[in-house]
Amino acid sequence: MKYLSYRHADGHEGVGVVIGSRVIDLAVPGARDGISPMRRLLEASDGVLPTAVASTADSPAFDFDLDEVEVLPVVPDPTKIVAAPVNQDAHVDALGVFLKAPSSVLADRGTVQLPYRDRRFDQEGELALVIGRRARNVEPADVWRHIAGYTCLLDMTMRGGEDRSVRKSFETFTPVGPYLVTPDEVGDPRDLRLRTWVNEELRQDADTADLIWDVAALVAYTSTVMTLQPGDILTTGTPAGVGRVRDGDTVTVEIGRVGRLSVTVSSAGAVDCPTRGADRGPKPPETVTPVRRRCS
Ligand code: MN
């Protein structure tokens, strides 16, 4: 099943199931100020989202055309976004995770706003997962019941020597979506082809089997550091092929059985950077050659 966070033309914000070109609203009960319907649904589901509409809502309150709704970030309000560094054997510099600001989320079809005109910005296409059930000190073998589903993510990055949490946390720097796809539909998350294009150029073409930090290791390790809450987003780190994006570019990441996320890039309103990290490390790998193995 594909779950969508959306806003309808009347302002109604909801979460629905996408079937073909239709959205079935789930009328999530128990509205609470400041918590999105997606997070409320995840909290109520205890980690396992229904995989059939009939068991999700007896009488869906709304039924829309997908074209009628504004797609929102798949989780509009995660309590945190946890990211793995560049995640392919040739380029792993350090194991560990870092945080991106939750306010950096952006929806499918959104616009990434480059803040500075004198700095370089790169795209990182990644497989992400959404936590469905609170997780703390979880063993790798037990992570699966804490994962509600998977989605596509672009970890947009400013290159240079500022702290990673700054370089990756600008507003709009975490496009995520369009859907949360349940694990029954995704199957093995280590068997997915990930491709990223900038305009027509294929920059990243990899197999998630090549990730050093697989999903189980990432969730288990992170849960020893911090409590993972329903709606938290963990992203698995990018394969080779990171490269520069510029004003007017279209960036698309497509992951087999998970979906296709596409955004545009704008430097409208960009100013001179007030910090001086431009010529200092750390820097992502220089390669822009797609590296692909094991996928047939
Ligand atoms: Mn990344």
Tokens of 224: 């020893």
d(Cα 76, Cα 146) in Å, to the nearest integer?
19
**How many angstroms separate the alpha carbon of residue 18 from the centre of ligand 1?**
28
From the CA of 56, how far away is ligand 1's center (Å)?
34
Residues 64 and 66: their CA atoms lie apart, in Å, by 6
What's residue 55's pLDDT?
41
Antiparallel, parallel or unpaired: β 105-106 and 174-181: parallel
| Tens digits of pLDDT across the chain (296 residues) | 999 999 988 887 889 999 888 888 887 765 567 899 999 999 998 888 887 765 444 545 567 777 888 999 999 999 999 999 876 665 555 568 999 999 999 999 999 999 999 999 999 999 999 999 999 999 999 999 999 999 999 999 999 999 999 999 999 999 999 999 999 999 999 999 999 999 999 999 999 988 877 899 999 999 999 999 999 999 999 988 999 999 999 999 999 999 999 999 999 999 999 998 887 876 666 655 555 555 44
**What was the pLDDT predicted at 59?**
47
Match 């959306």 to its residue by tokens.
6
Q: How far is the CA of 126 from the centre of ligand 1 (A)?
A: 7
Nearest Cα neighbor of 3 from 14, 22, 16 is: 16
* Distance of CA 153 from the midpoint of ligand 1 (Å): 9
CB 130 within 8 A of CB 284: no
Give distance in angstroms: CA of 177 to centre of ligand 1: 16
CA of 284 to the centre of ligand 1 (A): 9
Ligand 1 centre from 57 Cα, in Å? Answer: 36
8 alpha carbon – ligand 1 mean position (Å): 31
- How far is the centre of ligand 1, averaged over its atoms, from the C-alpha of 122 (Å)? 10
282: preceding bond cis by omega (within 30 degrees): yes
- Gap from CA of 11 to ligand 1 centroid (Å): 33
Q: Alpha carbon of 229 to those of 68, 78, 169, 226: distances in Å?
A: 31, 8, 20, 9
CB atoms within 10 A of CB 8: 16
Dig out the tokens for 266 from the structure.
């704008």
pTM for the full model?
A: 0.91
280: tokens are 């200092």
